Amino acid sequence: MSNKSFPPLFLERLEKIIPRDLFVSTLSSMKAPEVVVLRVNTLKSSFDEVGPRLSREGFSVERSVVCPQAIVLPSQERERLRGHAFISDGKVYHQGLSSQLPALVLSPCPGESVLDLCAAPGSKTTQMAAMMSNEGAITAVEIVRGRFYKLKAVCELLGAKNVRPVLCDGRRFRSGDLFDRVLVDAPCSSEGLFREGDPESFGYWSPRKVKEMAHKQKGLLRHAARFVRPGGRLLYSTCTFSPEENESVVDWFLKGDEGGFFLEPIALEGVPRYPCLATWEKRSFLSDISACLRVLPREGFSGFFLAQFRRRS
């Protein structure tokens, strides 16, 4: 096996996760060059300013039909964008289509209170700040000091003024407040970002890593639930295919929750999706888990998983 090829065990698992008729095309997508995706930062600009300007400069601009502020460009434009004024001025931000989905699903409104429990580097945090027009408050938690300062820098560059960064472990965050919306974009094994030919993207992968991540994710999700107000919403997401980190975590949470939360279907038109798993390694999951969303890596999207909970009033 070439050291630039996916680990055989990863491929073996993936073949059990992806429907048979989609497996070959999924692998092809993971080998193809990545498109460039920019999110227009509406705190500083608009698509009407950015789109036409990039077109006049000769860029091949395509607006996403799923993510309203996303501009999709061919992979070969990546180098030409480096150092562009729109990026250095914070008017646009590199953020993949799948990465923009959690905030779109959570849909925070101006004036609301939001907790982002795994916030760095700030992509989703600043996206939510823009959706809220800097009205209301976002508490953004990050455990790693270097990433915490990156979070602060990104918020400053993009003009996200309603964000309060907090340096601590999300599993130990303390607050006397309850929040309207809580986001757990959990650290994970990142399988959805694997690219064949880029060994750095999968060099640290192992079944042990998957299990370690699942343990951490359960702690984060359980702790996050404490801070959701009655009637409020909780969004759990990962950028991995692994059922241990997706359906299994959601199933574990619901079975131990004693009825305080329920899953809501995720209605996103135009997202390349495939069914959630009903079983994995002889374990059956709750039928409710079909309401979650698995995103296929194609059409500019990367492999992703989202689960939307609501706390009963």
Which residues have CB under 8 Å from 256's CB, separation 6+? 222
Q: Strands, DSSP E only, in 79-199?
A: 92-94, 113-116, 137-142, 163-167, 179-185
Q: Residue 47 is encoded by which pair of tokens?
A: 């698509």
239 is catalytic: yes
Catalytic annotation, pick one of 67, 155, 188, 239: 239
What is the residue type of 63? Answer: R
Q: Beta partners for 238?
A: 305
Q: Residue 38 is encoded by which pair of tokens?
A: 């920019």
Supply the DSSP symbol for 174: -
Q: Which of 261, 300, 303, 313 is nearest to 32 (CA)?
A: 300
Continuous segment of H or E residues that includes residue 14: helix 8-17
Helix (H, G, I), strand (E, B) or coil at 164: strand
Q: Residue 148 is encoded by which pair of tokens?
A: 């915490």
Task: Return phi, psi of residue 289, to 5°.
Answer: -65, -15
Residues catalogued as catalytic: 239
